[in-house]
Every structure is written in C-alpha cells, then in structure tokens.
C-alpha cells in the first residue's frame, strides 16, 4: 500500500501549497526523499527511485522542478510520437512540430538518467537542461555539491544559484560524462544543493547491453483504449455479444473502456485505426496496510533464518494459546539455547511457537476471575504478543472492523510467556521474579508494557533494576512510555539502559455516527460493533435523570457515573453524558446507547453503543434535546476512515522531559500504538466489563502498551541479523534511523516522539552505532549522586563508586543529546561520544548540523574516517543554548547527523528550560 502513502503525502503538501502544480508537488516528494541503504537495497535507485518519502520535509523542499503540459508534449514528441498518436494521449488538437520537440534529458524532471550502451572505453556525455523555482527562503543561495565515482564526470554550470524572492526561477546545465565499459556495474551518485533545505538529484547509470522483452498474450476480459466514440459503434463483434460485453467506460480523464473479448476479437481490435493499445486485465494483489506496513515493514522484507532462533520474553497478562496468531505450523523444536519451562496444566499447553509459559503470584491470593496458569484472562498479553511475533492470519477483524491480515513484526520468532499481571495489578515481586527467570531461560529480547503512574528513582524501580540485569546479560528491555499524556514530564520507564516507546497513530481511524430525530448527523470517535439497525430511540440527558434514591444529584448523573443514573428514566434510551467514562454507568442503568463528550483522537471500545463528540457537537445535541418534546437518536456501527495527518503522537502518550534525569532524552522513539488490531483472549469479552457478552478472537485497542511490542519486534528483527550486537547497539540502530515527525501535528516535538518514528527496515544498516555496556551505566549512576550502597541496589553486585568511576549524563554514550537550561541564562554543555562502524569497511562520515535560533552546535572533529568494521571513533559535541524568559516555546531542538553518502546517522539535540529550585 505504498501508493496511498505517497498519495496522502502529496495531499499533505497540497494542503500547505494549494497553488502548486502536480509536478511541483511531485518534485517536493522526490527531492526530499531519503536515499536507502545499498546494503539492503542492492538494486538501489532501480528499487526506490529518489528514496523513501519523508512527509515532514516535503512541505519545505526549498527548490522545485516544475513542469506543465507543454513540457510533457515536447517530451512525447521527442520520444517519436506522431501528431495522431500525441492527440490520443492529450485529447486535444496538440501537434508535434520542430518547436515542440524535446529530449528526455531536457524534461524538467527531479532525477537524471544516463543510458550507457556499447563497448570499449569511448567517452560519452550528455547535457541536461533544468530549471528550479524557489519556494524556500526569499533571499537564498544554493551551491551544488557533486559526488561522482571515477566512471562519471559530473559538472554543473552555474554551480551557484542565488534567489531574491519566492517564485523566482533559475536555470542550470548538468553535464554528465561516462566511459562506456561493459565492466561497469550499476552506480548511482547524487548532487545536493544546500542552504539548509536539501535538494537531492539522483543520477542513475543503467546496465549496458540489457534488453528486456515483454511477452504479452490476450485472454477474455481485455482492457483497451479508444480515441472517439465512433470506435464503439464500429465494433460489431463487441455489440453482438450483448450489453454484458461492455463492462466499464472511462470518460473523465482519459478515453477507454473495459470489455469481455476473445483472443481473436482482441487482435481485430488492435488493428482498428485509432486504437492505441489492447492489453489483458489482470488481477493485482492487494497491498494491505496495517501498523507494520505503515512503517514500510511489509511481510516481504528481507529476513534471516535466524529469526526462528530469536526468543521474545513477554512479561504481561499471559497468552491465549489457541489463537491462530500462535499456531506453530511449520516450526521446528525450540532453539537449543532455550533453558526455560512450560507450566502446563489442564487448561494450558505450550507448542513450538509458544515455547515457554510461567505465571507468578507471590502472595498466593487469587481473585475468582483469574486463571491460575499462563493462560490470559485479560486479553492484554495476547494482544501484545501477537503484535510482536504473531503468525500471519488472514481475514482477521473485530466484527468486520479493520478487516485484513493480522501479523507480528517477527512472525518466525518464538514467544516465552511470563504472566505477571492479574485483575488486581502487576506486583513488583512478580515482575522481578519474571525478569530473573527470563534472563536465565535464554530470551533475546524482553517486552514489558507495564509501568507505574509516574517515574521513580532507579533504585526504587523494579523495572529499571530488572532491565539493568537484562542489559548485563545482553538482553534489551523494551518498555512502554506510559499513558499519562499530554502533560509534560509524565514519561515512565526512563532508565537509559532500556528502550522507552511512545505511541503514535497509523493512517486509519474509526468514526461512529450519531443521528438525531431532526435528521442531523454528527461524526464521533469510538469503536462500536453493536448495531441498532437504524432504529431511533428516546434521547435523555444524564443530568435530567439522577438516581435520587441512592443519594445522587444532577451534578453527578450528568457524567453518567456508575449508579448515578435512575434506571426507570434511562432504560431503553440513548443517554447524553458530559464526559467520557467506560460506559458501565449507562449500561447498568439499562441505556441502549450513550453519547459522550471527549476523546477525539483515540477510539475506545464500550460495552454498549457509544459515540464521543467534541464539545460543540455535544452542545448542539443538548440544544436539540431541549427543543423538542420527544427527542430521539440512534448510534451507527463504526466505519473506518483514513487519517491523512498520521503519524502523530497521540494525546494519551506520556511526554518528556525525563523527570529523573533531565539530560537523558525520553521517550527514545515512537511506534504505532493507536487502534491496533491483534489477538485477544476468549476468556474475556471485548471490554471485560459487566454487561458486555462479546467474545472475540481479535480486538482493537490503543496504548503505549501496543507501541512497545512494535519496538520489541523491531529490536528482535535487528538482532536476528546481528546476534552479537549489544542491547545499546540495537537501541542505537533503532533511534538513529528513526524519522522525526512533523511539528505541525506534534507540538511537543522530541518530548513526544524522542528520536522519531521507528523505521525497522532502516535499522538493519544504521552505519554507526552508539554502544554502551555495564561500566558506562555504572559511571552514569555514580555521576547521578548514587553512593556505593544505593548503586548496588540497582546492579546487585559489588560495584562501587570512585573518582575513576564517576561520569555525567552528558558523557553517557547515548544516541541523543539533551541539556536542561535556566530560562534567560546561556548554558554550555560538552558531550563526549564514541561511535562504532557497522556500515562500510572503508568510509568517511561528515557532520551535518541543524540548529535553530537559540542553539549553537559544534562538533570536533567534524569528519570521522574508518578503515574497518568494528572500528571506533570518538568526538566531542559542544552545545550552547539560551531560552528567553518570555519565550512561548521553552524548548529548542536541532539535530546532528553523521553522513557518509549512504547512511545518515541522526541524533536529536534538545535544549529545554527548567526553573531553578
């Protein structure tokens, strides 16, 4: 589903630039695209063109290559089209003349292609004429930066373009010369014009001597084009077949139609004057989009056989083993490294997919609804497990909603289940016990979508302690960031040795319509699978139906709290509530449905039909209710719509800054966590609330609990290719290849999304990694003021703090940079970092610094040269920041990128204001 992704980005660009031409929008998408790794994309530009589109950059491309109809007409004429053939395309009286005859090289296109054919060392050159239009800064200067291998000679004239206004045009010529040699392999280089807004021009050199022939055959059901309506009436063989032969006619944008034809008829049709082409209608496969596809991580990404050796430890509510997501068909026995066990019972067994299962209950007390085994009675654990490693299950849905293929990020990986959570919570003692077992059992990654309501110091945080021990044993812990947003400093699970994951949207949202008795329809947000069959029901305001008998008044019943509503007044009606709640109050009072105010960016399930409206629509509903003697309403089943603004961090996702260590940026990154369809326990219902009797195999829920296993799977994917990488290296790969989100829809910037939106396929080849081990974190803890006693509460060993083992947060080898400043005061921080080369053996990385007003970033040295894989190089980053007292934005964020022409190793640099204590 890459096409609609590009469509959405084009629409996003057009929303900012409604007057831009189609070619300008296309140019913006192409010139801001990010070239992909040649290691994982061996066909290079033949595979990805200009690169992977970056929506947030495309709205400000700096320069665009514009073109209009006359440019394309010249191109077609230059391709050898006659006037008759040209008019079949244009549909008007356009003709080819000497004046309208141009070459492909002079089409004002945002990429350059040079075909080299023939043999020998003959010198071959081509001139490309181009014109760019300035849509960046009014007064700006662009310089051409040329990179070329020895086989290519690229010159740009002029190589400097100066602009004085927006909309100004400048022309230039690119001369590309090459030696024709059959030994030359596929090469691609780039020119970049830079004044802070990059414009990338890809040069593609084709393989010589390759001619590809397409074999075509006709079958019944051909598609063909017509030039005039006269052709239809002339086709007696078509008309004789009856009206069923003509299936569809295209009229609005181009001329053509679809018909059922025999092979002979297709051949006859192809010979008719004016028919451009006749070709068979083939069935194309759907490219289904879900959270993984939304990240560009399709089921067909490159994988290694070692994926089935990866074991993910899921610390959660257990698992529903009978789910199709955990089918072990095609799996061999567990990896030899597995040392765990399965606490089998009469109601739970493992298989070759779920290779381990344990449950923990330190205090031995149980609630009757709890199941005393690794079996999931809540649904949460099954959901997170299938997001991380569920098998491919076609036609999965929640009662028809989100219909498609459900799958995990690493479907071949194994799952080890550690049930730590019950209906009354997740005890610390059980969490630590599970960490202990998981480490000893031999898991590779730990996923923990659990956390407190606020961050606590590392030595008081059992999750931080457990994750530290995991790190010591080479196991990365992936944590949810928390669901207490959008307030700042609400992020939990902030230890620097674990991965903290925020939640962002995918390009799908669920809408539930409400219709009133006056015919007005309002779009609300929720997930409603209960159909009222368009029947209208009486509408009542919760504030008009207080349960007086039990001591409630209208100030409480207006919110529809549990037991606050009078059953005699509410039963069989749709109730209007002044806030969102779980719906128990309405359903227990006998309501048929509820209209609630709030939650406009997240859709939730309720035990009865519910639609959540904004305050304005809620007021209109109340006005209607008070204006008629017999108000009525109905609530429809939810429908799926496209969210054009995605991805953006959802409001509930907890934000930074890190409340424990200001100068370590948290969260680390963001991943999909909104409206995610995944496996569900059939030991509960859709909501698990009283009155809900819907038992389903798949459910749609939201939370950082859902984004966490996405990151878990990405980490497992990277580890399957790089089994010797440390947890810090894997984490670095995910963070430095993440893509920052648009500040238009993410006003909290890095406090919301950290390093950016995770791109799993890019993390396989990050180029450089920021590695760290136990001693680095011990130095960090000592520098945070821990003494030897408190340090050992975290490390659990004989570690001690000394002058030699004392480091600052700024010197921890972290893939992001953060500094807290006092408003109005200039602050300077020096960061020491070391990177390890995991990209090309011989490579040179140059710094690219982006710094807004109020932030100065210096790097020494600004070039790092490597001669081997695994080689390490150190550098120093000096950041000077000042945030004014009267500033409306108390945060300034920039970035540092190490670029070798193939890899862009990006780290955010964030300065933010904190008040002096």
Cα–Cα distance for residue pair 203/189, rounded to 1 Å: 5
Per the annotation, the verdict on 43 as an active-site residue is: no
Query: What was the pLDDT predicted at 88?
Result: 66
- In terms of Cβ atoms closer than 10 Å to its own Cβ (0-12, 13-18, 19+), residue 266 is buried
The end-to-end CA distance of the chain, in Å, is: 52
Identify the weakest region by mean pLDDT among 81-95, 441-455, 484-498, 896-910: 81-95
Torsion (CA) 196, 199, 203, 204 in degrees, nearest 10: 120
Query: pTM score, two decimals?
Result: 0.70
Known active-site residue 705: yes
Neighbours of 366 (CB within 10 A): 13
Nearest residue to 899 via CA among 837, 845, 836, 821: 845
pLDDT grade, residue 245 (50/70/90)?
Answer: low
As a whole number, mean pLDDT of residues 819-840 equals 94
pLDDT digits (tens, 9 = 90+) for 389-413: 999 999 999 999 999 999 999 999 9
**Catalytic entry in 380, 710, 757, 903:** 380
pLDDT tens per residue, range 415-438: 999 999 998 888 888 999 999 999
Q: Do 732 and 769 touch, CB atoms closer than 8 A? A: yes
Q: How confident is the model at residue 704 (pLDDT cuts 50, 70, 90)?
A: very high
Q: Which of 671, 716, 683, 708 is nearest to 318 (CA)?
A: 683
**Portion of the chain with pLDDT greater than 70, in percent:** 86
Which two three-digit tokens encode residue 596? 């609630």
**Catalytic residue selected from 323, 377, 480, 705:** 705
User: Mapping DSSP to helix (H, G, I), strand (E, B) and coil, where does residue 97 land?
Assistant: coil
Question: Would the pLDDT of 689 be above 50?
Answer: yes
> What mean pLDDT do residues 679-697 have?
96
Query: Angle of helix 22-31 relative to helix 2-16, nearest 10 degrees?
Result: 110
pLDDT digits 0-9 by tens, 146-160:
777 766 778 888 888
Q: Looking at the DSSP assignment, which residues form a beta bridge with residue 881?
A: 827, 855
Give the burial class of 423: count Cβ atoms within 10 A of its Cβ; 0-12 exposed, 13-18 middle, 19 or more buried. Answer: middle
Q: Which of 204, 309, 316, 566 is catalytic?
A: 316
Contact status, residue 530 vs residue 594, Cβ threshold 8 Å = no
Q: Quick one: which H or E segment has residue 672?
A: strand 669-672
d(CA 571, CA 640): 30
Active site residue 106: no
Tell me which H or E stretch contains 619.
helix 615-627
Identity of the highest mean pLDDT range in 45-49, 343-347, 750-754: 750-754
Q: Give me the helices (H) in 41-156, please.
A: 45-48, 55-58, 69-78, 83-90
Domains of the chain: 2-67+108-179 (2.60.40.2310), 211-281 (3.30.70.80), 291-504+650-729 (3.40.50.200), 508-642 (3.50.30.30), 768-772+813-913 (2.60.40.2310)
Query: For residue 251, what are its two tokens?
Result: 């009229």
Task: Give pLDDT, residue 460.
Answer: 84
């Amino acid at each position: 589903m890459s096409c609609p992704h590009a469509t959405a980005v084009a629409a996003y660009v057009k929303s900012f630039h409604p007057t831009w031409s189609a070619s300008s929008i296309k140019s913006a998408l192409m010139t801001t695209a990010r070239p992909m790794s040649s290691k994982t994309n061996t066909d290079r530009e033949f595979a990805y063109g200009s690169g992977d589109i970056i929506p947030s950059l495309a709205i400000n491309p700096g320069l665009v290559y514009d073109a209009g109809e006359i440019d394309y007409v010249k191109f077609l004429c230059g391709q050898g089209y006659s006037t008759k053939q040209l008019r079949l395309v244009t549909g008007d009286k356009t003709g080819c003349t000497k004046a309208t005859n141009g070459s492909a090289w002079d089409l004002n296109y945002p990429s350059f292609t040079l075909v080299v054919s023939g043999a020998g060392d003959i010198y071959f050159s081509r001139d490309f004429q181009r014109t760019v239009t300035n849509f960046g800064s009014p007064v700006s200067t662009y310089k051409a930066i040329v990179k070329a291998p020895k086989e290519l000679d690229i010159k740009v004239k002029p190589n400097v373009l100066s602009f004085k206004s927006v909309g100004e045009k400048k022309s230039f010529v690119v001369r590309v010369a090459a030696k024709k040699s059959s030994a030359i392999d596929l090469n691609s280089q780039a020119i970049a014009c830079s004044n802070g807004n990059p414009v990338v021009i890809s040069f593609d050199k084709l393989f010589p001597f390759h001619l590809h022939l397409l074999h075509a055959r006709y079958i019944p059901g051909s598609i063909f084009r017509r030039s005039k309506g006269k052709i239809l009436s002339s086709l007696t063989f078509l008309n004789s077949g009856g009206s069923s032969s003509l299936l569809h006619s295209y009229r609005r944008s181009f001329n053509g139609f679809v018909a059922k034809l025999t092979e002979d008829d297709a051949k006859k049709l192809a010979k008719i004057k004016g028919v451009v082409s006749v070709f068979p209608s083939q069935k194309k496969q759907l490219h289904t989009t879900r959270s993984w596809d939304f990240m560009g991580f399709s089921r067909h990404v490159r994988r290694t056989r070692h994926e089935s050796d990866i074991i993910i430890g899921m610390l959660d509510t257990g698992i529903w083993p009978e789910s199709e997501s955990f089918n072990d068909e095609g799996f061999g026995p567990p990896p030899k490294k597995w040392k765990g066990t399965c606490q089998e019972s009469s109601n739970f067994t493992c298989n070759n997919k779920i290779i381990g299962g344990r449950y923990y209950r330190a205090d031995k007390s149980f609630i009757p609804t709890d199941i005393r085994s690794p079996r999931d009675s809540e649904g949460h654990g099954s959901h997170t497990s299938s997001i991380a490693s569920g098998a491919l299950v076609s036609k999965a849905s929640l009662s028809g909603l989100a219909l498609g293929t459900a799958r995990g990020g690493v479907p071949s990986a194994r799952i080890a289940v550690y049930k730590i959570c019950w209906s009354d919570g997740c005890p610390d003692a059980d969490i630590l016990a599970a960490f202990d077992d998981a480490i000893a059992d031999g898991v590779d990654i730990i996923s923990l979508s659990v956390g407190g309501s606020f961050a606590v110091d590392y030595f008081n945080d059992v999750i931080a302690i457990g994750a530290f021990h995991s790190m010591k044993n080479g196991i990365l812990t992936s944590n949810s960031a928390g669901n207490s947003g959008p307030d700042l400093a609400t992020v939990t699970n902030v230890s620097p040795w674990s991965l903290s994951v925020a939640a962002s949207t995918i390009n799908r949202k669920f809408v539930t319509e409400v219709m009133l008795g006056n015919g007005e329809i309002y779009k609300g947000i929720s997930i409603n699978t209960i159909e009222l069959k368009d029947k209208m029901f009486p509408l009542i305001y919760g504030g008009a139906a207080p349960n007086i008998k039990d001591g409630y008044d209208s100030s409480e019943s207006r919110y529809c709290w549990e037991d606050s509503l009078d059953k005699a007044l509410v039963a069989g009606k749709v109730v209007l509530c002044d806030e969102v709640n779980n719906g128990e109050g309405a359903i227990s009072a006998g309501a048929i449905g509820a209209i609630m105010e709030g939650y406009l960016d997240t859709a939730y399930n309720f035990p009865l039909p519910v639609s959540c409206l904004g305050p304005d629509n809620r007021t209109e509903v109340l006005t209607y209710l008070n204006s008629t003697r017999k108000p009525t309403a109905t609530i429809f089943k939810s429908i799926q719509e496209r969210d054009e603004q995605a991805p953006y961090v959802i409001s509930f996702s907890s934000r930074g800054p890190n409340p424990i260590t200001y100068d370590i940026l948290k969260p680390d990154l963001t991943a999909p966590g909104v409206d995610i369809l995944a496996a569900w326990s059939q030991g509960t219902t859709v909501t698990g609330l009283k009155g809900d009797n819907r038992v389903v195999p798949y459910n749609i829920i939201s939370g950082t609990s859902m984004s966490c296993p996405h990151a878990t799977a990405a980490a497992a994917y990277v580890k399957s290719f790089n089994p010797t990488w440390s947890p810090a290296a894997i984490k670095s790969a995910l963070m430095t290849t993440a893509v920052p989100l648009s500040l238009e829809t993410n006003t909290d910037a890095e406090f919301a999304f950290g390093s950016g939106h995770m791109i799993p396929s890019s993390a396989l080849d990050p180029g450089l990694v920021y590695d760290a081990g136990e001693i680095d974190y011990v130095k960090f803890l000592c520098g945070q003021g821990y003494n030897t006693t408190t340090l050992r509460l975290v490390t659990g060993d004989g570690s001690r703090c000394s002058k030699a083992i004392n480091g600052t947060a700024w010197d921890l080898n972290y893939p992001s940079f953060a500094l807290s400043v006092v408003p109005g005061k200039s602050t300077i921080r020096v960061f020491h970092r070391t990177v390890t080369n995991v990209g090309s053996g011989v490579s040179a990385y140059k710094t690219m610094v982006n710094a807004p007003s109020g932030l100065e970033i210096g790097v020494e040295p600004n070039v790092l040269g490597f001669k081997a894989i695994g080689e390490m190089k150190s550098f120093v980053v000096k950041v000077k920041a000042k945030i004014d007292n009267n500033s409306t934005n108390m945060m300034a964020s920039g970035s540092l990128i190490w670029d070798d022409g193939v890899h862009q190793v990006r780290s955010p640099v964030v300065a933010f204001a904190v008040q002096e204590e």
